[in-house]
Structure 1
Amino acid sequence: MIVGSGGREHALAKCFHKSPTVEKVFVAPGNPGMRDVATIVPIDAMDFEKLISFSKEENIDLVFVGPEAPLSNGISDALKQAGIRVFGPSAQAAQLEASKSFAKQLMNQYDIPTAKHRTVFTKDEAMKYLSSHPSPIVIKADGLMAGKGVTVAMDDQTAIAAVEDIYRDIAYGPLVIEEFLEGEEFSLMAFVNGEKVFPLDIARDYKRAHDNDEGLNTGGMGSFSPVPFIKDEWVKEAMNNIMIPMAKAMVDQGIPFTGMLYGGLMATSNGIKTIEFNVRFGDPEAEV
């Protein structure tokens, strides 16, 4: 059974449907477009109790979780506790995506290359930092924002507006402000089981809402793979300096990662840098 309802889950359902080792595919909650490859189950992705009951009733062999929200809220933990096999990290391990400040802290601790940054906790602290770090600069909300919590501010006014927007409803909370990087972006996804890391082919994701790389960030406007201009040595560097070290870091922290680790990366003039980590298949990258 696949948990989710988007293009990523549709792509996964198609793959499982084609597999000679899979007898039946369920998707919860799915969408009408998936009916030709899976049985649609009208259970919300966050209703863990109903998902567990259905899995037991149908003798589901494997639950494959697509979206980040149920993962960060502990769906894998709940399914495992119920004796159901699940593909996806624990809630603790999912903090790698659910909290940008947590991810940055780990990258700092284990020397995993990323943009220079500062985590602030109040609007005043953020504004003070911006006053000494002019644009272009990147403002990142800490929690899950469906790919829409990042503002690439090319001018000071946009940076200030982004900070004000984030702190409009909260007085205190983590916010990551980081340097603006330039280079070729690419997505590197890998199956991870503890310290074992098995990469997939590279994909390229286009996040900006408008043409010419303009507009606000989105969850992804489109994607393609393979990516001919991403050099093999870049991928090797990313594996050796970013993906494998992060898998080992999670084990060292006592929260081993099991599932799909997504590295949003950039090839800069100073080497490969980590833009973000996600804890599931990319969407739309899963479709290619």
Structure 2
Amino acid sequence: MTPKNKLRSKQPDSKNFLFVSRYGESLDIAFAVQNEGHKVRMYIEESGCREIGLGFIKRTTNWEKHTDWADIIVFDYTGYGEESKALKDSGKLVFGGNTYTDNLELDRNFGQEELKRHGIKILPSREFQTFEEAIQFIRKHPDCYVMKPSGETQELKQLLFVGQDDEGADVIRILQAYERSWGNDFGTFQLQKKVKGVEISVSGYFNGKDFIKPLNITFEHKKLFPKELGVSTGEMGSSMFWTKDSPIFDATLAKFTPTLREHGFIGHIDLNCIVNGNGIYPLEFTSRFGFPQVFIQRAGINEEFGQFLLKVARGENFTINVKKGFQVGAFIVVPPFPYEDKKTFRLFSKDAVVVFKKDKKEGVHPMHVKRINNEWLITGDTGIAVLVTGTGVTMKDAQRMMQNRISNVIVNNGYYRTDIGDRWHEDSDRLWSWGLL
């Protein structure tokens, strides 16, 4: 036993963490918590993702059997609201959402109505059940629209379409194509009027009573290629910083404090917005960990993440110890990302090795990988290999650290965006001019 392991085994504050995951996304968090000296078990719901974490942490196929063992249960995704509430009601320490916050994210129409109910200005939007109904609506009300899937279909991020045509002709063509390929199996979706501005999200950790400061401001990079070209992926990377105060937070999430308190929410919540000189326009909630947001956040938090989660779940009021400056992170992905194609994944990416030129893994976060003979092998079925982060007093410093770390990683057929954080120079000028920083 190494001295490090001896120290770990004697830690008096060691707790039992049970991570309940939809797709295995929280592997990096669970692995970090384990390295801090806690005992960790992880459940992954999706069968195609259950190899994720093999060799990193102990996994289970039935999380309910381990609730008595766990000192804290962490839900990393929406859809577990009822289970989370039942566990909290039984006296268990839980970090995760509830049915109210689940609905904020999964039911786009409900989320928009709740924003309106809290006195927050929203963009005109409408929900549809069929493609033909939406096509006829656009023809009667020509404008530039964003088409957003709702419910479970919204997990397929490449289906989201941001229109460019002022008459909505491009959205009509997309809807017609989806009708031919999906038929009646698409589910509900939303058309939202498009506005120009800076896309920015504000998020915070809520301890059941209040938001814990500082807040997090994130700039997502969703397109596959640099300069925001290509298909929407959900995310290729993010840049961010922490702040004690935010005009965007004051105008939006802060107004939800009494409601979140009423529902006993304990967890992380994010509101993505478009802002410009005319105002702040909320787009959508993420009422759970954001991915890769939480991993980049962790790179900027100067305290053990396990203790941090415990303090939030216990309802403690404290100030998060964070780094000054900026944090950035980029995914390294492999085929067929961002699409689902099991044959392509098996041919080009399954069990491919993540190679480190030098044995330095700091800032390299395991995503959909397993560990065999101390080698990181790509698994799952989506093609997300690792996330690489960097921090710095300036955005350029953070980018430089991230790029240096990426240069130490070799992933066969891997690709990533080289411009994460580049928008900050222009976006910051505009945000300052609008009084939003």
TM-score by length of 2: 0.54
1:158 is matched with which residue? 170
1:205 touches 1:220 (CA, 8 Å); kept in 2? yes
1:178-257 alignment runs, 5 A limit: 178-194=192-208, 196-198=210-212, 199-226=214-241, 236-250=246-260, 255-257=263-265
Note closer, same or farther for the CA distance 1:137–1:269 as it changes in structure 2 (3 Å cut): same
Question: Structure 1 CA distance, aligned partners of 2:206 and 2:19?
Answer: 19
Question: Structure 1 CA distance, aligned partners of 2:113 and 2:150?
Answer: 12
Question: Structure 1 CA distance, aligned partners of 2:253 and 2:285?
Answer: 9
The alpha-carbon deviation at position 140 of structure 1 amounts to: 1.3
1:264 touches 1:277 (CA, 8 Å); kept in 2? yes
1:112 touches 1:246 (CA, 8 Å); kept in 2? no
**Partner residue of 1:54 out of 66, 76, 83:** 66
**Partner residue of 2:116 out of 75, 98, 108:** 108
Question: Structure 2 CA distance, aligned partners of 1:7 and 1:123?
Answer: 33
Question: Structure 2 CA distance, aligned partners of 1:218 and 1:121?
Answer: 24
2:67 match: secondary structure: helix
2:100 is matched with which residue? 92
1:170 is matched with which residue? 184
Q: Root-mean-square deviation (CA), in Å? A: 3.1
The alpha-carbon deviation at position 171 of structure 1 amounts to: 8.7
1:202 match: secondary structure: strand
1:18-167 alignment runs, 5 A limit: 18-19=35-36, 23-29=38-44, 31-33=51-53, 35-36=55-56, 39-43=57-61, 50-56=62-68, 59-68=69-78, 70-71=79-80, 74-80=82-88, 83-144=91-152, 145-146=154-155, 148=157, 149-155=159-165, 156-164=168-176, 165=178
TM-score by length of 1: 0.79
1:8 touches 1:282 (CA, 8 Å); kept in 2? no
Note closer, same or farther for the CA distance 1:102–1:5 as it changes in structure 2 (3 Å cut): closer
Is 1:12 the counterpart of 2:29 in the alignment? yes
1:203 touches 1:226 (CA, 8 Å); kept in 2? yes
Note closer, same or farther for the CA distance 1:166–1:248 as it changes in structure 2 (3 Å cut): farther
Greater RCO, 1 or 2 (C-alpha within 8 Å, sep 6+): 1
Q: Which runs of 5+ in 1 are unaligned?
A: 44-49
Counterpart code for 1:71: Y
Question: Structure 2 CA distance, aligned partners of 1:203 and 1:139?
Answer: 23
Counterpart code for 1:205: E
Note closer, same or farther for the CA distance 1:181–1:194 as it changes in structure 2 (3 Å cut): farther
Q: Which moved more, 1:164-173 or 1:201-210?
A: 164-173
The alpha-carbon deviation at position 66 of structure 1 amounts to: 1.1
2:100 match: secondary structure: coil
The alpha-carbon deviation at position 124 of structure 1 amounts to: 4.1
Is 1:267 the counterpart of 2:275 in the alignment? yes
Question: Structure 2 CA distance, aligned partners of 1:166 and 1:279?
Answer: 30
Is 1:2 the counterpart of 2:39 in the alignment? no
Q: Which runs of 5+ in 2 are unaligned?
A: 1-17, 45-49, 297-437
Note closer, same or farther for the CA distance 1:240–1:218 as it changes in structure 2 (3 Å cut): same
Question: Structure 2 CA distance, aligned partners of 1:166 and 1:259?
Answer: 37
2:95 touches 2:266 (CA, 8 Å); kept in 1? yes
2:232 match: secondary structure: strand
Counterpart code for 2:221: Y
2:20 touches 2:74 (CA, 8 Å); kept in 1? yes
Question: Structure 2 CA distance, aligned partners of 1:62 and 1:132?
Answer: 53
2:155 match: secondary structure: coil
The alpha-carbon deviation at position 159 of structure 1 amounts to: 0.9
Kindly, what percent of the aligned residue pairs are identical?
A: 22
Which structure: larger Rg? 2
1:262 touches 1:282 (CA, 8 Å); kept in 2? yes
The alpha-carbon deviation at position 174 of structure 1 amounts to: 4.2
The alpha-carbon deviation at position 17 of structure 1 amounts to: 3.1
2:24 touches 2:52 (CA, 8 Å); kept in 1? no
Note closer, same or farther for the CA distance 1:189–1:34 as it changes in structure 2 (3 Å cut): farther
Note closer, same or farther for the CA distance 1:173–1:219 as it changes in structure 2 (3 Å cut): closer
Question: Structure 1 CA distance, aligned partners of 2:209 and 2:147?
Answer: 31
Note closer, same or farther for the CA distance 1:166–1:109 as it changes in structure 2 (3 Å cut): farther
The alpha-carbon deviation at position 104 of structure 1 amounts to: 0.9
The alpha-carbon deviation at position 222 of structure 1 amounts to: 1.2
Question: Structure 2 CA distance, aligned partners of 1:85 and 1:169?
Answer: 44
Note closer, same or farther for the CA distance 1:51–1:33 as it changes in structure 2 (3 Å cut): closer
2:246 match: secondary structure: helix
The alpha-carbon deviation at position 83 of structure 1 amounts to: 4.9
1:41 match: secondary structure: strand
